[in-house]
Amino acid sequence: MKKLLALSTAMLMAGMANATDLSTIYQRAVANDAEVAAARATREANGYNVMTARGGLLPQAQLSYSKTKVDSESEQYNASNGTFFDVDRNETLDKLALEASQALFDLNSWYTYKAAVAGDDAAAYQLQLAEQDLLLRTAKAYFDVLRAQENLSTAQAEEKAVGRSLEQTKQRFEVGLIAVTEVLEAQATYDLTAVNLIGQEAALDISYEALEVLTGERYSDVAPLRDDVQMQMPAPAAVSDWVASGLAKYAGIRLAQANRESVRLQRNATRSNHLPTVKLVASYENSDQPAAVGDPRESTTQAIGVQLSVPLLAGGSLYGQSKQAASQLAAADYQLESQRRQAKQNIRSLFRQVQTDVRNVKARKQAIASAESALEATETGYEVGTRNIVEVLDAQRNLFSAKRDYANARYDYIINLLNLKFYAGTLNEGDIAQLNDWLQTQA
């Protein structure tokens, strides 16, 4: 027996040494997750909108050059002798032109640029939201594996215990100590536990598939949660502090604020289409001019001035654009308010849930001790004939149910706490590191 225990301990230590921890899986998810990669590429693409919009405020210049070959035939009159004669001309005319302008007053371009800056801020918050969501998805997928492992382990122990009870019942029936109905009850219970075991095996495989989706790699074992981890109440202890943090830091609200600011500036840009624009313009032109007689003449022109443009009539399109922009701003206001309300509700609900989870974990742990005592008493009563097999099976079911509920309560606490930090805007990689410290990464 001692040799068997030593061998089992050695195998457990080897398994823990090869188990992958949460930090490792998260780093692989960061490198391979498609959603974060897409958000990062979108962020980069939106950054060029600022560069494009800024161009409307900076100097513009255009250089052009043309070479024109002219072949002409004409008939001219010689007044001195009263005759006509043919004139053939073959000329090559060159033209070089440089035009430059600088906006002096163009509110449309200015507001368009500021809207692009706000849009770039929104893309940054969208990336932040995707990165925090990856933290949540990774932790949930990891602890779903541990949850499935615990449920499978409990199901295996339950199947083994019920199977042992079934064998004992059959033996007692064979010697005439009990009726056949107890055998049938035990068999039915065993069949149900066998079905549950099959389902838990499938659930574990599915949970590993979720990890593979995140990281692109297949895993066979992950580090378990330590038994001595203490589930603490959320700090700060006042829900109002969590709500204030969420309203100020939650990336979803900040994204909605940046989108609203971008839409507001776009509305201002649209309204500015009714206003005049003023440009400083300058040009330089060097060209060949055809001459009536002789070679082409070279001509040089330089000009500088101020150009004023005033929109007068656009068929009502400017008015329509302005009204459309106002409606879009109203929609952005409603979306921002919706984000605030949802964040408040989620924070308050999760705060209360985490508090409940802490108490639930303690109660579930005590429930296991009570269920073990009840099972022991029931089995003793069965041995002396004061209890039947149905009561034993019920006591076994209660014990394994209590163990499953305890394991699930611990994982519920972790996920709910992470969600609370997510909506409070404080979730970061440090939380992954803290959770990794809660794991039994080595024996």
Are 269 and 321 in contact by the 8 Å Cβ rule? The answer is no
Measuring CA to CA, which residue among 307, 324, 309 is closest to residue 271?
324
Greater confidence (290 vs 214) lies with 214
pLDDT in tens, 43-76: 899 889 999 999 999 999 999 999 988 777 777 6
Q: Lowest mean pLDDT: which of 84-88, 210-214, 236-240?
A: 84-88
Please tell me the distance from the alpha carbon of residue 307 to that of residue 283, in angstroms, as a whole number.
12
pLDDT of residue 18: 67
pLDDT of residue 22: 94
pLDDT in tens, 90-106: 788 889 999 999 999 99
Greater confidence (81 vs 302) lies with 302
Q: Lowest mean pLDDT: which of 26-30, 83-87, 383-387?
A: 83-87
3-class secondary structure per residue, the chain: CHHHHHHHHHHHHHHHHHCECHHHHHHHHHHHCHHHHHHHHHHHHHHHHHHHHHHHHCCEEEEEEEEEEEEEEEEEEECCCCEEEEEEEEEEEEEEEEEEEEEEECHHHHHHHHHHHHHHHHHHHHHHHHHHHHHHHHHHHHHHHHHHHHHHHHHHHHHHHHHHHHHHHHHHHHCCCCCHHHHHHHHHHHHHHHHHHHHHHHHHHHHHHHHHHHHCCCCCCECCECCCCCCCCCCCCCHHHHHHHHHHHCHHHHHHHHHHHHHHHHHHHHHHHHCCEEEEEEEEEEEEECCCCCCCEEEEEEEEEEEEECCCCCCCHHHHHHHHHHHHHHHHHHHHHHHHHHHHHHHHHHHHHHHHHHHHHHHHHHHHHHHHHHHHHHHHHHHCCCCCHHHHHHHHHHHHHHHHHHHHHHHHHHHHHHHHHHHHCCCCHHHHHHHHHCECCCC
pLDDT in tens, 115-172: 999 999 999 999 999 999 999 999 999 999 999 999 998 888 888 888 888 888 888 7
> Across the chain, what does the average pLDDT equal?
88
Q: Lowest mean pLDDT: which of 83-87, 329-333, 369-373, 388-392?
A: 83-87
Q: Domains, the chain, ranges and CATH?
A: 25-58+107-141+221-275+317-437 (1.20.1600.10), 59-105+277-310 (2.20.200)
**pLDDT exceeds 50 at position 3:** no
pLDDT in tens, 386-431: 888 788 888 888 898 899 999 999 999 999 999 999 999 999 999 9
What pTM was computed for the model? Answer: 0.81
Task: Report residue 294's pLDDT band, with 50, 70 and 90 as the boundaries.
Answer: low
Task: Report residue 181's pLDDT band, with 50, 70 and 90 as the boundaries.
Answer: confident
**pLDDT exceeds 60 at position 326:** yes
pLDDT of residue 437: 93
